[in-house]
Amino acid sequence: MNAQENFNNISNLKEKYLSKVDSEGYLSVASFAVAELGRQSKNVASLLDGEEGTSPEYNLGEGLRYKGASGNYSDMKIHIDDLENFIERVKNHYK
């Protein structure tokens, strides 16, 4: 993928979910988990925080902005500007 295609994918993904973010720019994990990753939101949430820090090898959200804890996965959110990065990390994890 060249730089222009990568930019377009990021722009399209951000545009797709921009209407679903809260006032601080955070998007619910449930909003994209199945559609973008084909995974249940509870599984994606556990990868975002490494199962609340108990599994650091699965902490794919390290360095990204997110809110909540996977123990209450329905409340987990990620910042829209970190969404593309997180989705790529999850896809690479499952390769």
Beta strands in the chain (DSSP E): 26-28, 66-67, 77-79
Q: Give the ranges where 1-82 is alpha helix by DSSP (H).
A: 3-17, 41-49
pLDDT band, residue 78 (cuts 50/70/90): very high
Alpha-carbon radius of gyration of the chain: 13
pLDDT, tens only, 55-76: 777 899 999 999 999 889 999 9
CB 26 within 8 A of CB 79: yes
pLDDT at 53: 66
pLDDT at 58: 85
How big, in percent rounded to 5, are the helix, strand and coil portions of the chain?
A: 60, 10, 30
